[in-house]
């Protein structure tokens, strides 16, 4: 393959070579389902969805796992505060996340494992670590011995002397740097039986067990947010390698979405929740906004930036509609070589979008001089690109109108816009304004651009 990806473990861009020819295996850290998803939560899912689509486009069969953390300190605390059962709280917010992923066009994973459904595999992994001397039991808890693993810190760059797990010191813990594999049960908390006593799994243990259950002891790509590099992914790597598994061959990390320079999080109170965003913007516009920046670049959220991105998407949409109205069916063509080169270079979506917008510009120019052949060629290339990005306006998912209905609407709106243009040329601005107002009353938004008026159906 020509694809090259930045591997956090080696800190360099590496050629992607799947372990098994013709197949790519991916594990993506999913949500800890403690609350309603915001755009910071879904950004990573969208980034890895684009990667998955590009791998499929490149001819690979992709096996993708995205987990659900449905047992966690935060879930237990929030459920208790709300006076609701922890399992009901988790299930409610798991559905909210799945609804958000689906609304934004994420392809469903091959499997979506829940932590609570894999306790047996977690206990087996702990036993392997205890037997090999990398873990020990103490007062009902089980800990991973960081000092027993020579390459601890290699993924995150942490110096062993500086390691702080963020865990409280507990009786029987031999080294403050050791992290918890299994938490002994506390009154009122859910628990499962183990050889070391009843309790529940530690966060890091969950993902190692679920990844290897579905992808085997070694797989291609492990993805997640940059905030997971330490301690979560560092600890995943340590316990899995210490148990004898090859684990992830490539580690990918997407950057944050920030507001006022701070990571978007519930604790900061700067959350932009998905349900609210989808009341203000079309889902496909929000998707385009979140996938256009490079996945390793921070997005500083603002309404102005999202509005500008939405306008750019509408230009793509309107171009395809114009070509369909004048030239008929627009098939899915071939992606331009420049677009492929951009995505092959560590999933370079900013450059890929630049190729996309340039092709739309050239296609509009061809339409303006009645070169239908060139316009259709450009439109077919555009459809190929937006299909890879998951934002095809003519696809069944995003098309607001289909078939004869779409054709009839386009002809009516275009006729009214032609009437408006003729009125403006004759300086009959009263008639031009009346046409625009009539379209607005019907839910048609019109934007005047150098390439002519663009129209979209408002939600």
Structure tokens at 23: 């197949």
* Gap between the Cα atoms of 124 and 213, Å rounded: 11
378: which residues sit within 8 A by CB, 6+ positions away?
323, 359, 360, 362, 363, 366
Phi, psi of 200, deg, nearest 5? -140, 160
Exposure string for 156-168, b = 16+ CB within 10 A, e = fewer: bebeeeebebebe
Strand partners, 222: 27, 251
Other C-beta atoms closer than 10 Å to the C-beta of 227 total: 16
Q: Is 106 annotated as a binding residue?
A: no
Helix (H) or strand (E) holding 28: strand 23-28
- The answer to whether the CB of 65 falls within 8 A of the CB of 214 is yes
Q: Which of 384, 350, 349, 382 is nearest to 363 (CA)?
A: 382
What is the dihedral angle through the alpha carbons of 347, 348, 354, 355, rounded to the nearest 10 degrees? -50
* Gap between the Cα atoms of 233 and 226, Å rounded: 10
- The answer to whether the CB of 352 falls within 8 A of the CB of 51 is no
CA-to-CA dists, residue 441 to 74, 208, 435, 446, 458, angstroms? 47, 55, 10, 12, 11
Residue listed under structure tokens 């702080």: 164
CA-to-CA dists, residue 15 to 2, 6, 64, 250, angstroms? 7, 9, 20, 10
Residue listed under structure tokens 């990398």: 134
Q: How many residues does the chain have?
A: 459
How big is the chain by its Cα radius of gyration, in Å?
Answer: 26
Report the binding-site residues for Zn(2+). 29, 207, 232, 236
Report the binding-site residues. 29, 207, 232, 236, 266
Report the binding-site residues for ATP. 266
């Amino acid at each position: 393959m020509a694809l090259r990806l930045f591997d956090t473990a080696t800190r360099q861009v590496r050629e992607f070579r799947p372990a098994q020819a013709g197949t790519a295996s991916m594990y993506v850290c999913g949500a800890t389902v403690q609350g309603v998803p915001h755009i910071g939560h879904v950004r990573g899912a969208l980034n890895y969805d684009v990667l998955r689509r590009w791998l499929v486009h490149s001819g690979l069969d992709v096996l993708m796992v995205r987990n659900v953390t449905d047992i966690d300190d935060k879930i237990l605390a929030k459920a208790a505060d709300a006076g609701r059962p922890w399992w009901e709280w988790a299930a409610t917010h798991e559905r909210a996340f799945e609804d958000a992923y689906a609304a934004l066009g994420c392809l469903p994973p091959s499997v979506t494992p829940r932590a609570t459904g894999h306790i047996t595999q977690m206990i087996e992994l702990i036993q392997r670590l205890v037997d090999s001397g990398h873990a020990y039991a103490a007062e009902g808890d089980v800990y991973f011995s960081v000092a027993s693993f020579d390459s601890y810190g290699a993924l995150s760059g942490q110096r062993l002397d500086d390691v702080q797990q963020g865990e409280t010191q507990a009786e029987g813990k031999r080294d403050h740097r050791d992290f918890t594999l299994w938490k002994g049960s506390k009154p009122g908390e859910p628990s499962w039986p183990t050889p070391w006593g009843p309790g529940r799994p530690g966060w890091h243990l969950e993902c190692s067990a679920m990844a290897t259950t579905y992808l085997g002891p070694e797989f291609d790509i492990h993805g997640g947010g940059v905030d997971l590099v330490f301690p979560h992914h560092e600890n995943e790597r340590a316990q899995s390698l210490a148990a004898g598994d090859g684990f992830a061959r490539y580690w990918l990390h997407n950057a944050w979405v920030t507001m006022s320079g701070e990571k978007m999080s519930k604790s900061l109170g700067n959350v932009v929740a998905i349900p609210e965003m989808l009341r203000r913007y079309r889902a496909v516009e929000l998707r385009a906004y979140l996938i256009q920046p490079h996945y390793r670049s921070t997005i500083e959220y603002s309404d102005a930036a999202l509005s500008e991105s939405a306008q750019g998407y509408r230009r793509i949409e309107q171009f395809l509609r114009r070509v369909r109205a004048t030239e008929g069916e627009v098939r899915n063509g071939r992606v331009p070589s420049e677009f492929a080169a951009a995505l092959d270079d560590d999933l370079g979506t900013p450059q890929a979008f630049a190729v996309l917008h340039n092709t739309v510009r050239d296609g509009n120019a061809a339409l303006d001089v009645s070169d239908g052949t060139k316009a259709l060629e450009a439109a077919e290339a555009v459809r190929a690109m937006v299909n890879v990005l998951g934002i095809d306006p003519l696809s069944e998912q995003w098309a607001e109108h289909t078939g004869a209905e779409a054709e009839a609407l386009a002809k009516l709106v275009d006729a009214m816009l032609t009437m408006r243009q003729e009125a403006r040329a004759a300086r009959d601005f009263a008639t031009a304004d009346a046409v625009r107002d009539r379209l607005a009353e019907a839910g048609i938004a019109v934007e005047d651009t150098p390439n002519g008026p663009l129209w979209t159906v408002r939600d």
